[in-house]
Copies of this chain bind each other. A is one copy, B any other.
Amino acid sequence: MTASPARHATILDVAAAAGVSKSTVSNVIRGVVGVSPDTRTRVQEVIDQLGYRPNVLARQLVQQRTTTLGVVVGDMGNPFYAEMAKHIEREAAGRGYRAMFCNTQGENEAELSGLESLMEYRAAGVLFLSQPADRERARSIVSGRAPAVFVTCAGDWGDTVSADDDAGAELATEHLVRLGHRRIAYFADPIVEDSADHDRQTGYHRVMDRAGLAPTIFHWQRQPGELLRQKRDEQVAEILRTRVTAVFSSNDYGAIELLECADRLGVKVPDDLSVVGFDDVVMAGLARINLTTVRQPQAELAGIAVEILDARVNGVLDGAHQRRTLDVELVLRGSTASPQP
């Protein structure tokens, strides 16, 4: 079999074969009332026979609106974003939208050209799973042309849907305090959105203050691209020299890397070091990882985000930006315990 001519039947082909006008075919396709049962079935038969599929491009061109949702995601290789992407695609499809993904890998250029491309496709709305690096240019490309929803990352020019980062951090930190830890560090992974990181730090600080403990913030150094294992180990070793007995990491990924370092350094988790993460990615639940963490309600986040975007697109929702915050939950697993005496 050779390459296909990719010939699609048009509404005119159907009309001709069924011996009706193209409007009648259009009426059948769109299921409008006022088509005689006879005609309807006859047209439908021709449609099935010809394998006719309406051209969405033509439809959307005349209707002046599309059912394409743009999704901007930093790294689909990151399990958290991959799972979010999956949920969003499902939600979008459930509401009759098609998701167009732009995986930006944090590259400014990819981000901007992706957004421009989405606008050229006249995406009905765009959904950010990570805040664009160049906020102003991103905004100037999208704003005024399509509604935007920021999921899990704050954006000041669109609706935002995120987990209660502050409360989650409180939960995590309180858990460590109750276990008897005094030296509890906050471990910031730069991959976490600034706004989320900020809120998580806030929650951490509040609990530490309340307990009369001194906060310590560590910034995980990431090399652009590959991570230097030795460099990470040195950092962790340094942290442990400060006699820290517990760490709250701003995300699971960072927490898992910390576990790895601890393993290499011979530091026992949870005996010598307790670790709490944030996200509850699937990996965190593996018996060998077994990470105590704060669960983000991924499916709900995705559902509400698409719901809001849909409402904006349909003009059902209008006016000021929505700011939805969903509850989180602490998942107790094996990476935390009371400090050794």
A: residues with CB less than 8 A from B are 1-8, 51, 53-58, 60-61, 65-66, 75-77, 79, 82-83, 85-86, 89-90, 93, 98-103, 105, 110, 113-114, 116-117, 119-122, 140, 143-147, 157, 256, 259-260, 263-264, 282-283, 286-289, 312, 315, 317-321
- Asked if B76 contacts A66 (CB within 8 A), the reply is no
- Asked if B315 contacts A287 (CB within 8 A), the reply is no
Q: In the complex, which of the residues B6, B146, B315 contacts A145, with contact meaning CB atoms closer than 8 Å?
A: B6
Copies in the complex: 2
- Asked if B55 contacts A58 (CB within 8 A), the reply is no
CB distance from A41 to the nearest CB of B (A): 21
Give every chain B residue within 8 A of A83 (Cβ-Cβ): 76-77
**Assuming A56-B120, A89-B103, what are 11 further A-B pairs, CB within 8 angstroms?**
A7-B144, A53-B119, A76-B76, A76-B85, A77-B282, A82-B82, A85-B101, A93-B102, A98-B117, A100-B100, A260-B287
A196 and B61 CA atoms in complex are apart in Å by 42
Contacts A100-B98, A119-B53, A263-B288; A79 near B76 (Cβ below 8 A): no
